[in-house]
């Protein structure tokens, strides 16, 4: 897609959603993002991707980036290295079966990661710079304020697409930050452009 000449001045920022897809809220989020022409990144679990392949397909068709969030939302510990790695591989297979593309980006649950996996799995870990703790708040304006007050160019915002309040807050965040001159991009564009 070509950029219009007015886009060069926009500050880039990435909105990311973990733990989905959710059978209802992810669809509502996709609809709102499409209306706003905002691109985001979804770090999905293999378990949910297997349960809702049609939503994974919709995310892909809407040109959002899909990343891996393990199969069962497992945290890496010193004792589960191999099973953690297997969860990532299994999730990659589930996602590729729907999209036909290899998964390159992974968000390790709770941020626990082993640098050796980058070579072993040929994957790139993506953490975050802003965490509004949307999963434990029902206050939309509080979530929006938390993000918008901290937002800076090249930030990566962590949210979760299983909550009604998150969907509402995320779309308000897109509206407010777009007005402030931000452009919502997928994490690959932020990290490698």
Q: Which amino acids are annotated catalytic?
A: 18, 160
Rg of the chain over CA atoms, in angstroms? 16
Which residues does 106 contact at the CB level (< 8 Å), separation at least 6? Answer: 43, 67, 68, 69, 88, 117, 121, 123, 124, 125, 126
Do residues 27 and 58 make contact, with C-beta atoms less than 8 angstroms apart? yes
Q: What is the C-alpha to C-alpha distance for residues 13 and 173, in angstroms, rounded to an integer?
A: 11
Place of tokens 């926009």: 10
């Amino acid at each position: 897609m070509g950029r219009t000449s007015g886009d060069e001045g926009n500050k880039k920022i990435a909105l990311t959603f973990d733990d989905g897809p959710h059978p209802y809220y992810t669809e509502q989020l996709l609809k709102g993002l499409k209306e706003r022409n905002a691109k985001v990144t979804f770090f999905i679990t293999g378990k949910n991707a297997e349960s809702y392949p049609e939503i994974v397909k919709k995310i892909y068709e809407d040109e959002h980036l899909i990343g891996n969030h393990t199969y069962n939302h497992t945290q890496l510990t010193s004792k589960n290295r191999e099973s953690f790695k297997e969860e990532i591989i299994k999730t990659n297979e589930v996602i590729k079966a729907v999209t036909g593309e290899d998964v390159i980006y992974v968000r390790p649950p709770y941020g626990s990661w082993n640098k050796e996996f980058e070579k072993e799995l040929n994957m790139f870990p993506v953490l975050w710079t802003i965490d509004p703790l949307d999963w434990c708040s029902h206050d939309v304006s509080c979530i929006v304020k938390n993000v918008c007050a901290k937002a800076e160019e090249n930030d990566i915002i962590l949210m979760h697409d299983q909550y009604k309040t998150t969907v509402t807050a995320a779309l308000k965040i897109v509206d407010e930050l777009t007005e402030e001159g931000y452009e919502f991009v997928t994490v690959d564009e932020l990290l490698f452009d």
